[in-house]
């Protein structure tokens, strides 16, 4: 986790060592390790599922909106992929999109 944070923040200009990121993350990880009953994480899991549905809704909105506006040839984001693959590969597109958003529950927690 510290390597990922270091890469992200190095690109933005905030250069900190990997040991510093470990020190920043350590208190949060220790607090998570003290949780003995997973029932306390239920509210966070609900928020993670809401994030998942929101992300899926955004994907569906962009895909179907861009299909309706196909004559305008204005593509952005995932719509350019969905519009360019056609109808036969559309299930594969949705499979990839859902797989990508499957990890949101882990990211939010």
Give the predicted TM-score (pTM) of the model.
0.44
Percent of the chain with pLDDT over 70: 67
Mean pLDDT over residues 52-81, rounded? 65
Mean pLDDT over residues 51-72, rounded? 72
For residue 6, give the nearest of 101, 18, 81 by alpha carbon: 18
HSE of 7, CA atoms in CB hemisphere, 13 A: 3
| Better-scored residue on pLDDT, 100 or 76 | 100
Q: Which tokens in the block code for residue 92?
A: 């594969």
Q: Considering only CA atoms, give the Rg of the chain.
A: 19
Q: Which of the four pLDDT bands, split at 50, 70 and 90, describes residue 103?
A: low
């Amino acid at each position: 986790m510290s390597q990922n944070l270091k890469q992200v923040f190095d690109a933005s200009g905030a250069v900190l060592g990997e040991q510093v990121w470990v020190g920043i993350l350590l208190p949060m990880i220790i607090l998570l390790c003290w949780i003995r009953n997973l029932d306390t994480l239920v509210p966070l899991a609900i928020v993670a599922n809401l994030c998942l549905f929101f992300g899926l809704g955004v994907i569906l909105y962009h895909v179907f909106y861009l299909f309706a506006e196909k004559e305008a040839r204005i593509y952005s984001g995932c719509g350019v992929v969905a519009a360019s693959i056609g109808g036969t590969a559309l299930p594969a597109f949705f499979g990839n999109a859902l797989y990508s958003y499957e990890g949101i529950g882990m990211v939010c927690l």
